[in-house]
């Protein structure tokens, strides 16, 4: 194994001989230079792993040398060492993307710590993360056998996400595979938990759900400050975490809660429930002119603003409000350019559809299948979109206008892996994660079945129709042309069923910085 090589640049390098002997005793190779110019010549002919650079040298300064080194090798880690504690020097050095900053006099152990932090960082983090997850794995495994409340499931799901995002960046893929199997086991238990309790949630013991979200959590936030409510369609918890840091430059988080999407975890049901404050059965009875069932022609979410207006009136709220649905880059840009016009509103509502379009594109477009081949890539793609989206521009403008920000979603999504055979008549709905229709034949173990949809406040398409919801990472496939169908939809992102990823979703309140 090659020794790690260090270039140490200091005009008083002879005084550092004890440090160099210490490092060589630790099996590091140390090259030395007495000036910035000499260091640049050395780097043009010799490759090193890290540079220790004195800030105060005759000739070209440490900061000037730093900039020249970056032109030779932008990725080379540089540790700046200086006698000065002046803030502007620290800021200059940090702004030039140094790896570390040490104040003289330095002792050998400080140098060793800096080396380990910068060169052994990924190995040390990997080993520590693996060891910590091994401990947590046992705890999660024990908790899975006992978890039996909504709050316990929220906590366990967040812990799984935390470890997923920690483990995906380490070198030990075996740990990640163990976590994936633990997520699968958790979803198996969660499906049984929902099956046992879902009906009871409508009788006073349930969590905040889609149809109670506005009244219970959004309405209390509508105080004297104008509020921007952003509903990002199809946003999972891990995707929220992926771009939370980007928002934190403009907003500070004051609350983060979790609520449950209703079943089906599909846009026409869950999002209409948010805006109407009603379950689908009640929407159909109360507003038949706005509600459409799966088999009806036409758009299923064309009346969200109508539903919202009716709910605001029913709650007796005196609000100046506007609703915007963004389904294209052009629409997002237009709203961003004219966003100052929203400053007089008590409530501005934006439904942003990009993430939903992304998940559906993964099904239909090979290039998206490549870019979002797994959950890690799917998070990364969501993060990249958000950083370059009109939505971020809108949020920045909202901050300048002093608006409170609420970010939430209607449901999540899951990467489906395994098919489950289902048979239905020609009027059966087409969704891959839930079906509604007559005479459905299915595998009992794979589904949560609602033979009487009214018990879970869903409308019937006809007198004998029922609903079934796929559990875990299953998707429904018909026996006809089965192999082609399975091959086409396996490893795509779908929603409508029962899983932690689809049902447990974020509700975040933020205040402008």
Report pLDDT for 219.
97
CB burial of residue 430 (10 Å; 0-12, 13-18, 19+): exposed
Cα–Cα dist 462/295, whole Å: 11
Burial code (b: 16+ CB inside 10 Å, e: under 16) for 267-278 equals bbbbbbbbbbbb
Q: What is the mean pLDDT of residues 319-333?
A: 93
Residue-range domain boundaries for the chain: 5-119, 122-197, 205-413+502-512, 415-493
Percent residues over pLDDT 70 in the chain: 92
Superfamily of structural domain 5-119: Response regulator (3.40.50.2300)
pLDDT surpasses 80 at 91: no
Q: Compare 211 and 115 and report the one with higher pLDDT.
A: 211
pLDDT surpasses 80 at 167: yes
Fold match between 5-119 and 205-413+502-512?
A: no
pLDDT surpasses 60 at 413: yes
Report the first-to-last Cα separation within the chain, whole angstroms. Answer: 50
Residues 6+ apart with CB under 8 A from 25: none
pLDDT digits (tens, 9 = 90+) for 255-267: 999 999 999 999 9
Q: What is the mean pLDDT of residues 23-38?
A: 93
- Three-state SS for 32? strand
Q: What is the mean pLDDT of residues 278-300?
A: 92
Arithmetic mean of pLDDT over the chain: 90
Secondary structure string (H, E, C) spanning 244-301 = HHHHCCCEEEEEEEEEECCCCCCHHHHHHHHHHCCCHHHHHHHCCCCCCCCCCCCCCC
pLDDT surpasses 70 at 482: yes
Report pLDDT for 169.
73
Q: Compare 49 and 321 and report the one with higher pLDDT.
A: 321
Task: Return the CATH class of domain 205-413+502-512.
Answer: alpha beta
CA max distance for the chain: 92
Q: Which residue has the tokens 């049902």?
A: 503
Handedness of CA 323, 328, 332, 337 (dihedral sign): negative
Report pLDDT for 55.
86
pLDDT surpasses 60 at 124: no
pLDDT digits (tens, 9 = 90+) for 184-201: 999 999 999 999 999 999
Percent residues over pLDDT 90 in the chain: 63
Single pTM value for the model: 0.81
Report pLDDT for 357.
64
């Amino acid at each position: 194994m090659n020794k790690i090589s260090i270039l140490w640049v200091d005009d008083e390098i002879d005084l550092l001989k004890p440090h160099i002997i210490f490092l060589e005793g630790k099996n590091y190779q140390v090259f030395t230079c007495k000036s910035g110019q000499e260091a640049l010549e050395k780097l043009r002919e010799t490759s090193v792993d890290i540079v220790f650079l004195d800030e105060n040298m005759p000739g070209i300064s440490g900061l000037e040398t730093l900039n020249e080194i970056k032109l030779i090798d932008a990725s080379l880690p540089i540790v700046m060492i200086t006698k000065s504690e002046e803030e502007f020097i620290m800021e200059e050095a940090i702004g030039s993307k140094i790896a570390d900053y040490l104040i003289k006099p330095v002792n050998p152990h400080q140098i060793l710590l800096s080396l380990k932090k910068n060169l052994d960082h990924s190995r040390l983090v990997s080993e520590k993360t693996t060891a910590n997850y091994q401990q947590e794995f046992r705890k999660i495994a024990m908790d899975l056998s006992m978890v039996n409340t909504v709050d316990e499931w929220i906590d366990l799901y967040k812990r799984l996400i935390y470890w997923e995002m920690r483990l995906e960046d380490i070198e030990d893929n075996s740990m990640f595979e163990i976590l994936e199997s633990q997520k699968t086991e958790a979803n198996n238990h969660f499906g049984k938990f929902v099956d046992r309790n879902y009906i009871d949630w409508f009788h006073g013991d349930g969590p905040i759900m889609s149809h109670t979200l506005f009244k219970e959590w959004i309405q209390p936030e509508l105080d004297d400050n104008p509020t921007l409510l952003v509903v990002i369609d199809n946003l999972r918890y891990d995707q929220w975490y992926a771009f939370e840091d980007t928002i934190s430059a403009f907003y500070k988080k004051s609350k983060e809660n979790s609520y449950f999407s209703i079943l089906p975890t599909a846009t026409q049901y869950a999002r209409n429930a948010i805006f109407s404050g009603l379950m689908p059965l009640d929407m159909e009875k109360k507003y038949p002119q706005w509600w459409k069932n799966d088999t009806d022609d036409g758009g299923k979410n064309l009346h969200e603003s109508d539903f919202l207006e009716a709910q605001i009136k029913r709650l007796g709220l005196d609000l100046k409000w506007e609703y915007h649905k963004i389904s294209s880059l052009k629409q997002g840009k237009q709203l961003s350019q004219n966003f100052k016009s929203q400053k007089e509103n008590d409530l501005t509502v934006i439904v942003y559809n990009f993430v939903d379009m992304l998940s559906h594109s993964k099904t239909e477009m090979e290039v998206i299948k490549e870019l979002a081949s797994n959950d890690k890539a799917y998070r990364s793609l969501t993060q990249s979109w958000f950083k370059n989206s009109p939505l971020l521009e809108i949020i920045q403008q909202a901050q300048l206008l002093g608006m409170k920000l609420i970010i939430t979603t209607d449901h999540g999504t899951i990467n489906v892996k395994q098919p489950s055979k289902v048979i239905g008549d020609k009027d059966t709905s087409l969704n891959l994660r839930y079906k509604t229709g007559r005479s459905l034949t299915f595998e009992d173990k794979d589904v949560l079945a609602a033979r009487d949809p009214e018990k879970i406040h869903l409308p019937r398409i006809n007198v004998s129709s029922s609903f079934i919801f796929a559990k875990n990472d299953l998707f429904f496939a018909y026996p006809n042309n089965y192999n082609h169908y399975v091959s086409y939809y396996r490893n795509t992102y779908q929603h409508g069923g029962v899983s932690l990823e689809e049902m447990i979703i974020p509700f975040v309140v933020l205040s402008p910085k």
